[in-house]
Amino acid sequence: MDKLISGYKRFREIAWPERKQVFEQLAARGQRPETLVIACSDSRVDPQMIFNAGPGEMFIVRNVANLVPPYMPDEQYHGTSAAIEFAVRVLKVKHIVVMGHAKCGGVHALLEGAPPEAQDFVVEWMSIAEPARRKAMDMDLPQADRQRFCELSCVQLSVENLMTFPWVAERVAAGDLKVHGSYFGVATGRLEVMDESGEFRPAEI
C-alpha cells in the first residue's frame, strides 16, 4: 500500500494540477465517452496508455481474457454484460473495441488447463471461449502459434457474442455503433486491428 500512496502523492503533485480543470468538468457534466473498451485484466495491458487516452475518453471493462459472454439475461451476476449495457444504452458510445493481447494467461489456462489455485471461477469463465479452444486445437500448429491463434480467436468470438445483445445489433444495423477487434503485442508494443473478414492487420502509424 505504501507504494500506491507514493504514486497517489505524485499524482496530486504533478498530474492533478495539470488536469484539475478536466476532472472538474467531468464531475459537473458527467462522463460522455465515445468508446467502450473490453480488455484483459492483465497488468501488462493498459488500454488508456495504449490508446493515449485521457480521463473521460473511454469506458473500460476488464476481465480475464477480454471475453464477452453471449447475451443471457437471468438472475446470475453479469459484470461484463452490465458494463456493456450501461455503455451502449445509457452512455450511447459510438465504438466498442475488444482488445486481446499476447501471452494471455487466461488463454493459456484454456489451452493447457488452469492452475490448481484457479479452479473456483477461472475454469467456468474460460468455458465461454470453448469454441475458440476447439478451433485452435484443430489446427496443426506449434504451441506458441496455437496460443496466438487462440488469443485472436477469442477476440473474434467476443465480437460475435456482442452481436447477440439485441440493442448492440440494433445500433450496429442503424449505423450509429461500430464494433472492432484488436490485438496488442506486449513485447512489441504493436497493435493489430481486425478487418471485416476477421483477419488481423497492423494498425497504420
pLDDT tens, position by position, 50-80: 999 999 999 999 999 999 999 999 999 999 9
Q: What is the mean pLDDT of residues 131-154?
A: 92
Shared domain for 123 and 38, answered yes or no, is yes
* Residue 205 binned pLDDT confidence (cut-offs 50, 70, 90): low
* CB distance 32 to 91 below 8 Å: yes
Tell me: do 25 and 40 sit in the same domain: no
Say whether both 76 and 126 belong to one domain: yes
| Co-location of 13 and 37 in the same domain | no
- 177 and 86 part of one domain: yes
Overall domain count for the chain: 2
Please state, rounded to an integer, the average pLDDT across all residues of the chain: 96
3-state secondary structure (DSSP) of residue 187:
coil
Pair (4, 59) in one structural domain? no
- C-alpha 79/C-alpha 121 separation (Å) is 14
4, 48: one domain: no
Q: Are residues 16 and 97 in the same domain?
A: no
Note the pLDDT of residue 143. 82
Q: What whole-number distance in Å separates Cα of residue 156 and Cα of residue 132? A: 9
- Cell digits of residue 83: 458494463
Instruction: Kindly state whether residues 96 and 58 are assigned to the same domain.
Output: yes
CATH number of the domain that 185 lies in? 3.40.1050.10
pTM of the model: 0.94
**Residue 46: its pLDDT value, please?**
97
d(CA 25, CA 64): 33
Least confident of 119-133, 169-183, 191-205: 191-205
pLDDT of residue 139: 86
Per-residue pLDDT reduced to its tens digit, 12-63: 999 999 999 999 999 999 999 999 999 999 999 999 999 999 999 999 999 9
Identify how many contiguous H helices and E strands the chain contains and give both numbers: 9, 6
pLDDT at 204 over 80: no
Name the phi and psi angles at 50, rounded to 5. Answer: -60, -40
Task: Name the nearest CA neighbour of 157 among 167, 145, 149, 168.
Answer: 149
Residues forming beta bridges with residue 96, ordered by sequence position? 36, 179
pLDDT at position 140: 85
Domain co-membership, 44 together with 24: no
Same domain, 22 and 84: no
Name the pLDDT band for 93 (thresholds 50, 70, 90).
very high
Share of the chain above pLDDT 90, in %: 96
> What would the mean pLDDT of 98-108 be, rounded to a whole number?
97
- Look up the domain containing 102 and give its range: 31-202
Q: What is the pLDDT of residue 125?
A: 97
How far is residue 42's CA from residue 31's CA, in Å, rounded to a whole number?
25
Same domain, 169 and 73: yes
User: What are the DSSP E strand ranges found in the chain?
Assistant: 35-40, 58-63, 95-101, 178-184, 191-194, 200-202
Q: For 176-192, what is the mean pLDDT?
A: 97
